[in-house]
Amino acid sequence: MAVTRKTIVGVIFGGRSVEHDVSIVTGHQIMNAFDTTKYEVVPIYVTHDGKWFTGAPLCDIENFKDGEITSYDGVKSAILSPDVRHHGLIVNPLAGRFSKSEIRRLDVLFPAVHGTHGEDGTLQGLFELADIPYVGYATLGSALTNDKILTKQVLKQNDIPVLDSIFFTRSEWLNKPESILQRLKDGFGYPMFVKPATLGSSIGITRVDDESLLRPAIDIAANFDRRILVEPAVTDGIEINCAVMGYGDDIQTSVLEQPLSWSDFLAFEDKYLRGNEGMKSADRIIPAPLSDDLTRRIKDLSIQAFKAVDGRGIVRIDYLVKPDSNEVYLNELNTMPGSLSFYLWRETNLSDSAVVDKLVTLARDAYADKRRNMYDYKTNLVALAAGRGLKGAKGTKGVASHN
Amino acid sequence: MQLVFIMVIAFVWLAGTIFRIYRQARYYQIEEYKSNRYIRWLFSERDRWLPTRPVGVFLVGMIFAFFTDSIPGETSFLPYIIHIIIAALAVYPPDEGEIKKAFVRTQRATRLLGAAFFLAFLATMLLFALRQLAPIPTSDRFQAVFMGIGGIGLFIFAPIWLMLGNILMTPLEGFMRRRFIKKAENVLAVINPKIIGITGSYGKTTTKNFLRDMLNGRYKTYATPKSYNTLMGVCLAINNDMANDYSIEYFISEMGAYVEGEIQRITELTPPDISIVVEVGPQHLERFGTLENVAAAKYEIIKALPQQGLAIFNWDNPYVREMYDRGYPDNRIAVSRELSPDNLPENPPRFIASDIVETLNGLSFTVTDTETNQSEFIETPVIGIHNVTNLLLTIAVCVHEGMSLRDVAFRAKTLQPAESRLVRQVTDSGITIINDAYSANPVGVISALKVLGLHQSGKRLLITPGMIELGDMQEAENRKLGELATQYASDIILVGEKQTAPLKAGILSTDFSQEHLQVVDNLSDAIDWYKDNLKAGDTVLFLNDLPDTY
């Protein structure tokens, strides 16, 4: 029996985030990529308002419309249990007299949730509690790369070139807008980008070409986040993306791509919904037309950055490059890139199924590393506390006898 | 009034009988409720089945009572009083002496005791009935004598009530067993872990623990605790610890055998995906007869594998190597610590240990994967040369399940010996104690003696009752052990004069000074001696510890 047992992968998609709909697409691309002779896929869908479901119909994207499930036939409520013994889902958790809850063991978790509550370390925290191997960045790496301000600081520390920036908080903006405007004017000229510190997929980001747009742009960003980042726009550069996959010392990079819509900045729809398979058919050049030297440099930087933010699993790193002056700036790390950058890996001679296969292996490797840590360290603290009486009012004399 | 006295006599005997049943149950339990084995134990010493003091007290009391007169037809209390005193003195429980393995009050034991107590009570009632029916003179003396004889019979037959109770409970126990096994089967079906079976005459528990600790570095692994290796033991482990734990990916099932077919029954409950055969040796030989029978019993664990399963063999043991050569299943891995990687036979074992070094800090060796030609240096705090084999078997499974040799080497650094298997500790007074109290066997004892020999700072004391259950080979193996011991130990204490005779002969066949050899009756005498005579820097090796039935 167990010799031929398939690996059970729980793919989580949807999520309480503005990128909910995109995640449904990514989730289904991942589920379709698995080799069904080796894997059994369990779909786990989190609705826009945060309800969790599982069930076979969720595997079919036809059952979704406008970011909703069209029918709940065969779909059951489920939660991912933080109790390590469950090692998976509790299906139908609030069972009553006539229904039964059951445990659905999951061998590996594969999050496909973009942005908030998915890419920011919160979901990963639940995975850690559940003690189940999972694909992608761990709690710290996810939380870090989700925050543009902190990411810049960490990258700078590691000598990875990033654009200058100024950041401030929403309350600073509300209380002293003039002083912030002055700081920005002194800092760098137009055009500039105003961004919320977190969130991906260009949401809340505005390019500001002159003073008239600066205030509304900051207001927009302040609606999405408590912390706001402003950086100069690179006008004479091109965007270059590189996907990285790995764990520990085993890290590989994909071919580089140059998305062509750079000159006009990617609108949200443009970034994801052109064509039917995410970014695949957006206009792009693969491999990016860069000198071997620059290509090599970007790939090396990618590996360096991957390690700097405690990377694992997969990431797509976006750069701003000025080929003429040989300048490269790391712009962003996407720990849950749209479509997992399948289109880049295909050009790197890795099939979709090879990519998900590799990611599951990496998840197990990372989990094995966690298992190597010790969690049992015997102390006599409880005995001491018990001897003292928990309130510690008296009985310190009793301690000696408990040693 | 007469009836009251008779009832008191009966009550004292019954109370004594019940207590005797309770004490006998401990030995019955050690013999696993097997009446033939228990009877063999019972009759191997007269005092066990016919205890001296109760019988003596009874006989003397009877003679005394004979001279105290009572006139037929008249009422006299004296015979009754005498018989109450006889009964009380006879049944007063003796000191039990040293208890190594206490009685475990399992549900089954409780049911058995209940049945046995009930039978003893029933027998007492029968005595009363007989007293009414039988043509016994109504004189007080005869009445008292009748009850006295009945009482001592009741008392002597305590083992009978116990065994009858067992027979009485057999249908119920069978039902409970089947229910318990069914429950374990259901748990396994739900959790569905990969199952690794381990068997061998010895080395099972250590290999199991090594494998659990190593594999746990990558997969959540659960192994049967301690030395649970019977069908019921494995069931207990599953029902207690695995139920509702969906996180378990690997289950290691230790399978022991006292008779043929036992391993097969365990594999029916826990069908292995991977099977490991550690050693075939003379352990429990008196129950198997020949080593070939032992090997046949162990091979059941290989037969239970599916065609695509994996089998792992200790190539250094000729019986195990023969299993490897038989060719089932397709996927087989052998390991060896005796071959040299420079001089391999055709179709060599896959994992070879070389450059084995043993110090007081542990073992180190180089493991070579002859299939990939990769090598890795292994260091472990575990001592005992035979553990190299146990480690190689562990490594074979881990590598097959996707761990790298490097990873394995990392984990090996933190391995610990299994309970009472070459465990070393230093006492407050600076004496090093090596505890190798579990099932000493011809392979393990050599390892243990070598470890003792590594301690060069002071006296090296060996305390041992010798090896048992080796059947025809027992005498020769113990003699060999005696000869070998003199090479490593500076002082030897033998525990138990009778069964250590071959050992003593072996020791005396060398030029070992008789001043350094002692024979004592029990372990506590040996411990007293070393406490008085050893000082800091000295070392004691406890080699084997026999069950209470020896």
Greater confidence (B113 vs B438) lies with B113
pLDDT at B483: 93
Q: In the block, which residue shows the tokens 């001897």? A: A387
pLDDT-derived band of residue A98, with 50, 70 and 90 as boundaries?
confident
Is residue A126 scored above 80 in pLDDT?
yes
Interface test with A, best of B246, B398, B410, B411 (most A CBs within 10 A): B246
pLDDT at B360: 87
Cβ pairs A/B, distance under 8 A: 51
Least confident of A242-251, A345-354, B42-51, B111-120: B42-51
CB contact under 8 A, B192 and A87: no
pLDDT at B283: 83
pLDDT at A1: 38
Average pLDDT score over residue span A278-300: 82
pLDDT at B459: 92
CB contact under 8 A, B216 and A86: no
Question: What is the rounded CA–CA span in Å between residue A366 and residue A133?
Answer: 7
Greater confidence (A81 vs B146) lies with A81
Asked if residue A181 lies in contact with residue A163, where contact means CB atoms within 8 angstroms, the answer is no
Instruction: For B378-421, write each residue's pLDDT tens digit.
Output: 999 999 999 999 999 999 999 999 899 998 999 999 898 887 78
On whether any CB of chain A is under 8 Å from the CB of B66, the answer is: no
Does domain B192-412 bear CATH number 3.40.1190.10? Answer: yes
Greater confidence (B230 vs B68) lies with B230
pLDDT at A159: 96
Q: How many CA atoms lie within 13 A of B533 on its CB side?
A: 16
Question: What is the rounded CA–CA span in Å between residue B435 and residue B451?
Answer: 11
Question: What is the rounded CA–CA span in Å between residue B413 and residue A294?
Answer: 45
Interface test with A, best of B191, B216, B218, B411 (most A CBs within 10 A): B218
pLDDT at B224: 94
Interface test with B, best of A1, A109, A249, A357 (most B CBs within 10 A): A1
Asked if residue B313 lies in contact with residue B272, where contact means CB atoms within 8 angstroms, the answer is no
On whether any CB of chain A is under 8 Å from the CB of B216, the answer is: yes
pLDDT at A283: 75
Is residue A180 scored above 80 in pLDDT?
yes
Question: What is the rounded CA–CA span in Å between residue B107 and residue B23?
Answer: 17
pLDDT-derived band of residue A196, with 50, 70 and 90 as boundaries?
very high
pLDDT-derived band of residue B440, with 50, 70 and 90 as boundaries?
confident
Amino acid identity, position B544? N
Greater confidence (B1 vs B338) lies with B338
pLDDT at A400: 36
Asked if residue A136 lies in contact with residue A365, where contact means CB atoms within 8 angstroms, the answer is no
Burial letters for A167-186: b for 16+ Cβ neighbours within 10 Å, e otherwise? bbebeebeeeeeebeeebee
Longest dimension (CA), chain A: 77
Residues of B in contact with A42 (CB under 8 A): none
Q: In the block, which residue shows the tokens 């020999």? A: B453
DSSP string, B270-323: S--SEEEE----STTHHHH-SHHHHHHHHHHHHHTS-TT-EEEEETTSHHHHHH
Is residue A257 scored above 50 in pLDDT?
yes
Q: Percentage of chain B surpassing pLDDT 70?
A: 98
Could you tell me the domains of chain A?
2-134 (3.40.50.20), 164-232 (3.30.1490.20), 236-371 (3.30.470.20)
CB contact under 8 A, B192 and A85: no
Residues of A in contact with B193 (CB under 8 A): 2
Burial letters for B378-394: b for 16+ Cβ neighbours within 10 Å, e otherwise? bebebbbbbbbbbbbbb
Q: Which element (helix H / strand E) includes B257? A: none
CB contact under 8 A, B410 and A105: no
Least confident of B1-10, B164-173, B384-393: B1-10
Q: Which element (helix H / strand E) includes A55? A: none
Q: Which element (helix H / strand E) includes B21? A: helix B2-30
pLDDT at B199: 96
For chain A, the C-alpha Rg in angstroms (whole number) is: 24
Nearest-CB residue to B194 (from A2, A368, A372) = A2
Question: What is the rounded CA–CA span in Å between residue A282 and residue A285?
Answer: 10
- Sign of CA pseudo-dihedral A164, A168, A170, A174: negative
The DSSP symbol for B514 reads G
Six-digit token string for A73: 């036939």
pLDDT-derived band of residue A395, with 50, 70 and 90 as boundaries?
very low
Q: Percentage of chain A surpassing pLDDT 90?
A: 68
CB contact under 8 A, B194 and A364: no
B338 by Cβ neighbours in 10 Å (0-12 / 13-18 / 19+) ranks as middle
CB contact under 8 A, A5 and B246: no
Average pLDDT score over residue span B233-243: 93
Asked if residue B370 lies in contact with residue B344, where contact means CB atoms within 8 angstroms, the answer is yes
Question: What is the rounded CA–CA span in Å between residue A230 and residue A7?
Answer: 45
Is residue B329 scored above 50 in pLDDT?
yes
pLDDT at B197: 97
Q: Which element (helix H / strand E) includes B517? A: strand B517-520
pLDDT at A40: 96
pLDDT-derived band of residue A260, with 50, 70 and 90 as boundaries?
confident
Residues of A in contact with B407 (CB under 8 A): 368
CB contact under 8 A, A3 and B306: yes
pLDDT at A273: 46
On whether any CB of chain A is under 8 Å from the CB of B271, the answer is: yes
Dihedral angle computed from the Cα positions of residues A17, A19, A23 and A24, in that order, rounded to the nearest 10 degrees:
90
Instruction: For A369-393, write each residue's pLDDT tens digit.
Output: 888 776 656 666 776 666 665 544 4
The pTM score is 0.81
Burial letters for A373-401: b for 16+ Cβ neighbours within 10 Å, e otherwise? eeeeeeeeeeeeeebbeeeeeeeeeeeee
pLDDT-derived band of residue B2, with 50, 70 and 90 as boundaries?
confident
Phi-psi label, residue B284: left if phi above 0, alpha if psi -120 to 50, beta otherwise: left
On whether any CB of chain A is under 8 Å from the CB of B192, the answer is: yes
Nearest-CB residue to A2 (from B192, B219, B410) = B192
Question: Which chain B residue's Cα is nearest to A105?
Answer: B246
Nearest-CB residue to A85 (from B247, B402, B403) = B247
| Identical fold, B192-412 and B423-543 | no
pLDDT at B73: 57
Is residue B524 scored above 90 in pLDDT?
no
Amino acid identity, position B207? T
Phi-psi label, residue A349: left if phi above 0, alpha if psi -120 to 50, beta otherwise: left
B51 by Cβ neighbours in 10 Å (0-12 / 13-18 / 19+) ranks as middle
Average pLDDT score over residue span A260-274: 50
pLDDT at A377: 62
Question: What is the rounded CA–CA span in Å between residue B21 and residue B160?
Answer: 9
Is residue B457 scored above 70 in pLDDT?
yes
pLDDT-derived band of residue A189, with 50, 70 and 90 as boundaries?
confident
The dotted CATH code for B423-543 is 3.90.190.20
Nearest in space to B393 (alpha carbons), one of B206, B216, B220 = B206
Domain range list for chain B = 2-170, 192-412, 423-543
pLDDT at A270: 52
CB contact under 8 A, B218 and A87: no
Residues of A in contact with B267 (CB under 8 A): none
- Sign of CA pseudo-dihedral A165, A168, A169, A175: negative
Distance (Å) from the alpha carbon of A380 to chain B's nearest alpha carbon: 21
Instruction: For B495-507, write each residue's pLDDT tens digit.
Output: 988 889 999 999 9
Residues in A lying within 8 Å of B, measured between beta carbons? 1-5, 84-88, 103, 105, 107, 131, 364, 367-368, 371-372
pLDDT-derived band of residue A262, with 50, 70 and 90 as boundaries?
very low
CB contact under 8 A, A1 and B271: yes
Q: Where are the beta strands (DSSP E) in A93-142?
A: 102-105, 108-111
Average pLDDT score over residue span B346-352: 92
B3 by Cβ neighbours in 10 Å (0-12 / 13-18 / 19+) ranks as exposed
Average pLDDT score over residue span A233-240: 88
Asked if residue B32 lies in contact with residue B174, where contact means CB atoms within 8 angstroms, the answer is no
Average pLDDT score over residue span B68-80: 69
CB contact under 8 A, B309 and A3: yes
CB contact under 8 A, A3 and B273: yes
pLDDT at A19: 87
Asked if residue A24 lies in contact with residue A13, where contact means CB atoms within 8 angstroms, the answer is yes
Asked if residue B382 lies in contact with residue B209, where contact means CB atoms within 8 angstroms, the answer is no
Contacts of residues A53-62 at CB distance under 8 Å and 24 or more positions apart, as own/partner, are A53/A77, A53/A78, A54/A78, A54/A89, A54/A91, A54/A104, A59/A28, A59/A31, A61/A24, A61/A25, A61/A28
Residues of B in contact with A2 (CB under 8 A): 192-195, 273
Asked if residue B119 lies in contact with residue B43, where contact means CB atoms within 8 angstroms, the answer is no
CB contact under 8 A, A1 and B192: yes
Nearest-CB residue to A372 (from B217, B308, B402) = B217
Question: What is the rounded CA–CA span in Å between residue A129 and residue A111?
Answer: 15
Q: Which element (helix H / strand E) includes B513? A: none
The DSSP symbol for A160 reads -
CB contact under 8 A, A88 and B246: yes
Nearest-CB residue to B246 (from A5, A86, A368) = A86
Question: What is the rounded CA–CA span in Å between residue A255 and residue A299?
Answer: 9
Is residue B465 scored above 80 in pLDDT?
yes
pLDDT-derived band of residue A396, with 50, 70 and 90 as boundaries?
very low
Nearest-CB residue to A87 (from B246, B309, B403) = B246
pLDDT at A385: 67
pLDDT-derived band of residue A3, with 50, 70 and 90 as boundaries?
very low
Contacts of A193 (CB under 8 A, 6+ apart): A205, A206, A207, A208, A230, A231, A232, A233
CA angle A145, A151, A153 (to 5 degrees): 165
| Beta-sheet pairing, A108-111 with A76-80 | unpaired
Question: Which chain A residue's Cα is nearest to B251?
Answer: A2
Neighbours of B199 (CB within 10 A): 30
Question: What is the rounded CA–CA span in Å between residue A4 and residue A85?
Answer: 23
